[in-house]
Structures are given as C-alpha cells and as structure tokens.
C-alpha cells in the first residue's frame, strides 16, 4: 500500500483521539459534521437502537405466529431504499426459515416487474408490508393503491413508518393488521436494526436476537474510551475517508456469496451519506474481480472473507483491507460497524452524513414531468459520451428496466466490458430504486461520473389507482426527471436502449 496513504490513515486515527471525535459522536455533538443541529441531532438514534429494540421483538414474533397460523405464506415488502434494502439483505443471506414467510421486495415502478410479482402471489395468503419513513414515498403509495384495489382487506396489510405520517393515517383508517411506529431519530439508511429492518426479518422466521447481540458487541468496541486504532468503526471510517481524500475514492467491495447482497446496503449507506457538496465515496458492488491491469489508481478494496485475486492486487500496490467474516450471523455487527464508519468517513470529508439535499430535486423533476413538463429526452450519442471517460471517473449504468436475473446478467456483461476497456470503476443501478441510494452521489458528489441511462417502452402497463398516471408513465417520468437533474448538474450522460448499450460494449 502507498506509504503516504498509510501515514495519512495513522494521522487521522490520532486526530480522532486528540479531538475526541468518538466521544462527541456518542454525546450527540452535531459540530462533528455541521455548524447547525438540523438533520444531525435528531438522526443519531441508530447508535443505541439495538439496546431497546430487543424489547419489541416479541411483538414482531407474535405477528409472525398469527399470520402463519392463519395460512399466510408470503410477505411482499413495498418500500424503497432504506425501507427495503436491509430486509432484503437478511432474507437473501438467511433464506426463508421454518415457520416464516417467503419475502418478495417490490421496489420498482416498472409495470413488467409489478406484473411478474403479482403473477407469483396467492393474494389469499399474502401479507403486504408497507414501509416508508416519510409515509409519502410515491412508489410505495402507488404499490399500496394497486394491491389495495386487488385485496381491500386490512388484515392483509401492515405498515412501518414514523409517527404522524400520511401512511400511518391510511393504515389506521383502513384498519391494517398492525402499525409499527419507528423511533423518529433514525434516518432511513441507518434503520437496518430498527423496525424497518427487523419486522420483515422476523416475519421471515429469522432469529434476530444474535444479530442484535452482535450489533451491541460492535457498539461496545466503538464506545468512548477505546483508542481509534482499536475501534473497528473508527478505523474503517478513517480508511474510507482518508483513501477518498488521497484519490482512492472507488470503494470496491469484495464479499462472500453468503452475504453478497450486503453490498447493495453498503452502497446506499456510503453513497447517500458521503455524496454531497462535491465530495463523495463511490461504492462499487457486484463488480467481479480482475487482474491488476484492469484497475486505475483510484481503487480501495475492502473485503470480508478474502478472495484469491486480492494478493495480486496488493502486490501491485492497491490498498486492500480485510474485515473478519463469521457468516451471516455477523450481519448485525456489520450493519452497525458500517454505519459508524460512514459517520466517521463523513467527518473526514467534511459533510453531513444524515441529509440528502439532492434527492428531493429528482422527485420534484419527476412531478414536473408528470404534470406535462420536463426536458428533452434526447442526449448526445453514447459513443460521444464514452469518448469523454477519463482516468479516475466511474461509469454508472442506470437501468429503468425490470430487475430480474436475465436483465442483470446482461448489464453485468456490459459493465465488465466497459471496466476492462476504460479501466474505470463501474456500477449498475435499477431505477427508480437507485434514486433512493446512489442518486444523491450522482448529483451531489464529485463530477467524476459518466452516466448511461437505459430505457425502453414496456409492452404492458397497469394504472395507478386514484392517480392520473400509469406505472409505465410514472417510471418514464422518473427516468426523464433523473436525466434532467443530471444535466442540470453538468453531468455527462447518454440515454440508450439495452440493445444499443450491448452493441456499444460487446
């Protein structure tokens, strides 16, 4: 590893101790990140949530027992970003457990994915988990409207939200089976160990007790009084932050197959927390490892459980950091570690980890399009945009397509072809899902992204009950709103079909 980077990390760890950063974080001192307490002082509940949420687990378990006894077999999670990613990670890592429900996450407005989801459901045996911190997420409320029209029975619905939201009012009015009110001092992307993560996990039969115990052990290792060099969260945060400062801002995650979906959760946490005010760390997940020649000098590799190719990357001078892996049961500890590390990395970068100033812009742009406005969908040709790729850039594929294994496989082949051709980091995001995660980094982070928006016209569509638009129209508006917002921020962007993308890459 570069000696200058190694020395910078060591110096940062000393500064964390000298300036009492860990102590100040635990004390709720907003000045670690911002001169103003707004969206900081009321966003630190994640530090201790694992200590008191355990008391609510029997409540979650009772719900699971009730719905299973009544013959329910499937839970469909209607949620976006922080409301859906942690439950998906836990379900994909542990699988459906005995006495639990199968989990399907619906976080797409693509009508083909909606239709495909509905096709595998027995609505008589399906429980819908409507999950939104704000209670006003357009995708989630659209999905709720659609399935409520199909099954207008509150016994088939539960809600997870904050107190006093529109979703809570809907749930009470419609007599939902259960309404879980989350602590208000926890932001969406820091909510893995709160109701948003644990209620769906328990419904799937996952024993969350060991996850919470692991999180509490990790928190204890990161408490005041532990030197930063020995503090696993502060150490990782210093690595992430200082690496970015020294140009190694492409955080490349190397995860074992058992918990590969953890990368999507880390991607959201790191990108949305760090990507603002021209700063940012670009998480790269699910990109296959390659020999050293495929990489530029902007990579940082962080691995759980190692990989045979990492030794060669280290020998070639790339920084590689190893985190011990103890199987899926360590997910609770990793959720907590990465939350604390991201908060530390944001301190290093000088940004507030808890706000998302550019996310609202894309939502507003979508509303403009739905109201009949919006910009021109035409963009420069893909070849012209690709010709502007420079060393140190990253290439982001933004796919407004159904999220399934066939489409993902095609996009993976494209991304690796571009990675090898340009020697730049690549990411794949499905819209509108990524708007609730990496979308903040795309607009608010450094202008090092080259964006390829992939769209097509679905052959089938479904109305959104109670709205003047369909799901295909909503998805199209989200894509065009995203495109407009990227252009307003001076980003390099092209818009193509999947076939056109493949022809350019393969």
pLDDT band at 373 (very low <50, low <70, confident <90, very high): confident
Superfamily the domain 3-31+226-327+345-349 falls into: Glucose-6-phosphate isomerase like protein; domain 1 (3.40.50.10490)
Q: Map out the domains of the chain as residue ranges.
A: 3-31+226-327+345-349, 47-207, 359-505
Q: Is the confidence at residue 375, as pLDDT, over 90?
A: no
Average pLDDT, the chain: 97
pLDDT band at 170 (very low <50, low <70, confident <90, very high): very high
User: What are φ and ψ of residue 450, in 5° steps?
Assistant: -115, 120
Residue 384 to residue 366: CA distance in whole angstroms: 27
Residue 93 to residue 197: CA distance in whole angstroms: 13
Residue 356 to residue 420: CA distance in whole angstroms: 32
Q: Which of 92-101, 367-376, 490-499 has the lowest mean pLDDT?
A: 367-376
- In what order do the strands lie in the sheet containing 282-284? 282-284, 250-254, 299-304, 320-323
- Residue identified by tokens 């930063």 is 228
CA-wise closest residue to 167 among 191, 129, 142, 141:
141
H runs (alpha helix) in 298-330: 310-315
What sign has the CA pseudo-torsion 4, 10, 16, 19? negative
Residue 149 to residue 144: CA distance in whole angstroms: 8
User: What are φ and ψ of residue 455, in 5° steps?
Assistant: -135, 160
Q: Is the confidence at residue 1, as pLDDT, over 80?
A: no
- What pLDDT does 361 receive? 82
Residue 506 to residue 209: CA distance in whole angstroms: 47
CATH architecture, domain defined by 359-505: 3-Layer(aba) Sandwich (3.40)
- What pLDDT does 372 receive? 87
Q: Is the confidence at residue 158, as pLDDT, over 90?
A: yes
- Residue identified by tokens 């100040």 is 24
Q: Is the confidence at residue 473, as pLDDT, over 80?
A: yes
Task: Provide CB contacts within 8 A for 360, sequence distance 6+.
Answer: none
Q: Is the confidence at residue 374, as pLDDT, over 80?
A: no
Asked if 482 contacts 365 with a C-beta cutoff of 8 angstroms, the reply is yes
Fold match, 47-207 / 359-505: yes
Contacts of the segment 456-465: beta carbons below 8 A, 24+ positions apart: 456/401, 456/497, 456/498, 458/110, 458/111, 458/112, 460/111, 460/112, 460/115, 461/111, 462/111, 462/114, 462/115, 462/146, 464/142, 464/145, 464/146, 465/145, 465/146, 465/148, 465/149
pLDDT band at 165 (very low <50, low <70, confident <90, very high): very high
Q: By 3-state DSSP, what share of the chain in percent is helix, strand and coil, each rounded to 5?
A: 50, 15, 35
pTM, two decimal places: 0.98
Q: What is the CATH number of domain 47-207?
A: 3.40.50.10490
- What pLDDT does 2 receive? 84
CA-wise closest residue to 504 among 392, 399, 421, 398:
421
Prior bond of 432 cis (ω within 30°): yes
H runs (alpha helix) in 195-261: 195-203, 209-221, 232-245
- What pLDDT does 321 receive? 97
Q: Is the confidence at residue 213, as pLDDT, over 90?
A: yes
- What pLDDT does 363 receive? 86
Residue 53 to residue 39: CA distance in whole angstroms: 22
pLDDT tens digits, 60-109: 999 999 999 999 999 999 999 999 999 999 999 998 899 999 999 999 99
pLDDT band at 362 (very low <50, low <70, confident <90, very high): confident
| Separation in Å, CA 119 to CA 111, 113, 114, 141, 150 | 12, 10, 9, 20, 13
Task: Provide CB contacts within 8 A for 189, sequence distance 6+.
Answer: 81, 82, 268, 269, 272, 273, 437
């Amino acid at each position: 590893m570069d000696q200058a980077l190694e020395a910078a990390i060591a110096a940062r760890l000393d500064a964390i101790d000298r300036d009492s950063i860990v102590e100040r974080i635990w004390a709720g001192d907003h000045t670690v990140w911002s001169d103003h307490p707004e969206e900081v002082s009321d966003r630190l509940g994640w530090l201790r949530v694992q200590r008191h949420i355990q008391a609510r687990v029997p409540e979650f378990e009772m719900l699971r027992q009730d719905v299973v006894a009544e013959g329910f077999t499937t839970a469909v999670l209607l949620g976006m970003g922080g409301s859906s990613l942690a439950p998906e990670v836990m379900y994909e890592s542990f699988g459906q457990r005995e006495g639990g429900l199968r989990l399907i996450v619906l976080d797409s407005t693509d009508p083909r994915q909606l239709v495909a989801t509905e096709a595998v459901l027995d609505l008589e045996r399906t429980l819908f988990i409507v999950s939104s911190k704000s209670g006003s997420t357009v995708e989630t409320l659209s999905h709720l409207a659609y399935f409520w029209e199909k099954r207008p029975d509150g016994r088939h619905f539960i809600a997870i939200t904050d107190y006093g939201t529109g979703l809570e009012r809907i749930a009470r009015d419609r007599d939902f089976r259960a309404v879980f009110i989350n602590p208000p001092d926890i932001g969406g992307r820091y909510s893995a160990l709160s109701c948003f993560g644990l209620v769906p996990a328990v419904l799937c039969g996952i024993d969350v007790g060991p996850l919470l115990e692991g999180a509490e052990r990790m928190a204890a290792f990161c408490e005041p009084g532990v030197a930063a060099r020995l503090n696993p969260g502060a150490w990782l945060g210093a690595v992430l932050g200082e690496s970015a400062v020294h140009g190694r801002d492409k955080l490349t995650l190397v995860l074992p197959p058992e918990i590969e979906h953890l990368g999507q959760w880390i991607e959201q946490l790191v990108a949305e927390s760090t990507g603002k005010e021209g700063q940012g760390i670009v998480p790269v997940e699910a990109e296959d490892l390659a020999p050293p020649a495929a990489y530029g000098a902007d990579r940082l590799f962080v691995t759980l459980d190692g990989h045979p190719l990492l030794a060669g990357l280290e020998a070639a001078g790339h920084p590689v950091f190893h985190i011990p892996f103890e199987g899926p049961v360590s997910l609770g500890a990793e959720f907590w570690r990465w939350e604390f590390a991201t908060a530390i990395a944001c301190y290093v970068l000088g940004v507030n980890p808890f706000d998302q100033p550019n996310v609202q812009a894309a939502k507003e742009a979508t509303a403009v399009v739905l109201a009949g406005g919006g910009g021109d969908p035409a963009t420069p040709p893909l070849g012209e945009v690709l010709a502007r790729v420079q060393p140190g850039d990253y290439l982001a594929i933004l796919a407004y397509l159904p999220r399934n294994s066939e489409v993902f496989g095609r996009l993976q082949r494209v991304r690796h072809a571009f990675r090898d051709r340009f020697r730049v980091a690549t990411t794949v995001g499905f819209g509108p899902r990524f708007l609730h995660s990496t979308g903040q980094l795309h607009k608010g982070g450094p202008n090092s992204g080259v964006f390829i928006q992939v769209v097509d016209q679905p052959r089938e569509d479904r109305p959104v009950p109670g709205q003047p638009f369909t799901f295909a129209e909503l998805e199209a508006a989200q894509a065009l709103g995203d495109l407009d917002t990227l252009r307003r921020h001076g980003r390099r962007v092209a818009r193509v079909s999947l076939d056109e993308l493949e022809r350019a890459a393969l």
